[in-house]
């Protein structure tokens, strides 16, 4: 019984703190940082979103699905290869455009991850990296401006400064909803 109490207490504490489901996996974060370092540069250069999945094979090795190229403000994921387990989604937000508040994940980004039941990663034009908890909808900056290749045209973003974390409700309020 004491072990069960400890487990329930740990679970309760984790839920109260809003801990991300897979963010504690240092290997995944390191893999995503390397992947996004390359993908964000290309995304900005061609002003197109790029997306895919972080996968794990049966031996536990991480890889990425084939990259899918989208438009300036969207990207459609391809199916994951057979025998691979989807760990999380990833995508970039293309080049800087003052018409888009693209330094934070969009509500569509968060709701998409939640509907698939996966966590997500988003790279922004200013070089931020976000982690989205696909279970709770809580997102947090893993690293701030210029931690990834950034668009040199991000001079004066007309949108509010990005907070370090958001709930989905807070994100809706940011977008005026």
pLDDT in tens, 35-81: 999 999 999 999 999 999 999 999 999 999 999 999 999 999 999 99
CATH class entry, domain 29-174: alpha beta
- Residue 106: Cβ-neighbour burial (10 angstroms; 0-12, 13-18, 19+): middle
- Residue 175: Cβ-neighbour burial (10 angstroms; 0-12, 13-18, 19+): exposed
The region, left, alpha or beta by phi > 0 then psi within -120 to 50, assigned to residue 11 is alpha
pLDDT in tens, 103-122: 999 999 999 999 999 999 99
For the chain, domain boundaries: 29-174
Which of 78, 84, 132, 80 is closest to 108 using CA atoms? Answer: 132
* H-run or E-run covering 143: strand 139-143
pTM of the model: 0.84
CA distance 110 to 118: 10
């Amino acid at each position: 019984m004491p072990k069960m109490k400890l487990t329930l207490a740990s679970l309760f504490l984790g839920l109260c703190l809003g801990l991300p489901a897979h963010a504690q996996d240092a290997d995944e974060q390191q893999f995503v940082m390397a992947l996004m370092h390359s993908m964000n540069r290309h995304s900005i250069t061609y002003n197109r979103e790029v997306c895919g999945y972080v996968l794990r094979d049966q031996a536990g090795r991480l890889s990425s699905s084939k990259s899918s190229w989208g438009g300036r403000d969207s990207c459609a994921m391809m199916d994951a290869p057979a025998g691979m387990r989807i760990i999380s989604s990833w995508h970039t937000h293309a080049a800087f455009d003052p018409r888009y508040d693209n330094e934070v994940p969009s509500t569509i980004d968060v709701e998409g991850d939640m509907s698939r039941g996966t966590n997500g990663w988003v790279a922004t034009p200013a070089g931020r990296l976000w982690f989205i908890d696909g279970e709770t909808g809580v997102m947090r900056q893993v690293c701030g401006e210029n931690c990834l290749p950034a668009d040199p045209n991000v001079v004066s973003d007309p949108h509010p400064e990005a907070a370090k974390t958001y709930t989905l409700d807070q994100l809706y309020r940011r977008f005026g909803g």
